[in-house]
């Protein structure tokens, strides 16, 4: 397993890869190197058929406190324009396998945006979400003005981005930013259990379902339904669908191959 500076990478079980953000002295601030390491890890996970699901987590106290303010402060306008960060974010959003986050503590700025890049967020009850960039005299830079409004709607997104105020996990749950709230000490355990459930499904069906659902953010209903129909039809050619249906009829557990 690769050694990194800003993250820890583990295999809590064979088919799950766990990325732990690990810059405690900087409250897991996401400097460029952190995003590079996450991207490299995801790229390797995408190519490794034994990995079915990736989980990202932080510490009990902080998921990630945003972009690294000290690093960002060095960037002038042209530096920000030619920066690699947008490419890293693009790579994270293009990851085709399920990506889950177990969030405890603060998920602020780019930390909140990272949570919005994943497919399913499970939050501890003490988690806090916010886009505090306005307090620094700037605005979100990793999709916060776009994904947040599409996820939680205009009133709450405007409140968060324009005031810099944080919301707690229960509010995030009610708003649809997170899928589930757990006791703080069980967040990772519950997220890994959910990851395990997903890892047992057909990776092909999971991939096409994820792709079709994410497309709904970009295209109109008709185009989305067309993609769904084509992917649904494609699954009829798969060994996984055959196995899933046969297993159901034979009253046994399916064994999906991803073909």
Residues binding ligand HXC (CB under 6 A): 26-27, 29, 62, 65-70, 72-73, 106, 108-110, 132-133, 136, 138, 141
CB 210 → ligand HXC: shortest distance, Å? 26
Query: Would you say 15 or 133 has its CB closer to ligand HXC?
Result: 133
CB 73 → ligand HXC: shortest distance, Å? 5
Query: Would you say 138 or 163 has its CB closer to ligand HXC?
Result: 138
CB 173 → ligand HXC: shortest distance, Å? 21
Query: Would you say 27 or 97 has its CB closer to ligand HXC?
Result: 27
Three-class secondary structure assignment of the chain: CCCCCCEEEEEEECCEEEEEECCHHHCCCECHHHHHHHHHHHHHHHHCCCCCEEEEECCCCEEECCECHHHHCCCCHHHHHCCCHHHHHHHHHHCCCCEEEEECCEEECHHHHHHHHCCEEEEECCCEEECHHHHHCCCCCCCHHHHHHHHHCHHHHHHHHHHCCCEEHHHHHHHCCCCEEECHHHHHHHHHHHHHHHHCCCHHHHHHHHHHHHHCCCCCHHHHHHHHHHHHHHHCCCHHHHHHHHHHHCCCCCCCCCC
CB atoms closer than 10 angstroms to residue 169: 26
CB 111 → ligand HXC: shortest distance, Å? 7
CB 135 → ligand HXC: shortest distance, Å? 6
Query: Would you say 20 or 216 has its CB closer to ligand HXC?
Result: 20
Query: Would you say 135 or 197 has its CB closer to ligand HXC?
Result: 135
CB 72 → ligand HXC: shortest distance, Å? 4
Query: Would you say 70 or 255 has its CB closer to ligand HXC?
Result: 70
Query: Would you say 110 or 160 has its CB closer to ligand HXC?
Result: 110
CB 188 → ligand HXC: shortest distance, Å? 19
Q: Where are the alpha helices (DSSP H) in 20-94?
A: 32-47, 69-72, 77-81, 85-94
């Amino acid at each position: 397993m690769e050694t990194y500076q800003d993250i820890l990478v583990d295999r809590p079980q064979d088919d799950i890869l766990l990325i732990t953000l690990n810059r405690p002295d900087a409250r897991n601030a996401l400097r460029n190197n952190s995003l590079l390491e996450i991207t490299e890890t995801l790229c390797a996970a995408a190519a490794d058929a034994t990995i079915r699901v990736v989980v990202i987590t932080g510490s009990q106290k902080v998921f990630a406190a945003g972009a690294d303010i000290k690093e960002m402060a060095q960037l002038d306008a042209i530096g920000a324009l030619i920066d690699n960060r947008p490419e890293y974010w693009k790579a994270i959003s293009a990851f085709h396998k399920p990506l889950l986050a177990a969030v405890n503590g603060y998920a602020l700025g780019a930390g909140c945006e990272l949570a919005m890049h994943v497919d399913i967020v499970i939050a501890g009850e003490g988690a806090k979400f916010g886009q505090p960039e306005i307090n620094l005299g700037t605005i979100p830079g990793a999709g916060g003005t776009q994904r947040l409004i599409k996820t939680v709607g205009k009133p709450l997104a405007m409140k968060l981005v324009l005031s810099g105020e944080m919301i707690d996990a229960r509010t995030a749950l009610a708003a649809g930013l997170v899928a589930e709230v757990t006791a703080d000490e069980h967040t990772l355990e519950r997220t890994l259990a959910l990851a395990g459930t997903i890892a047992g499904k057909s990776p092909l069906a999971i991939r096409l379902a994820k792709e079709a659902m994410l497309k709904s953010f970009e295209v109109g209903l008709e185009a989305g339904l067309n993609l769904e129909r084509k992917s649904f039809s494609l699954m009829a050619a798969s060994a996984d669908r055959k196995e899933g249906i046969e297993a159901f009829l034979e009253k046994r557990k399916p064994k999906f191959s991803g073909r």
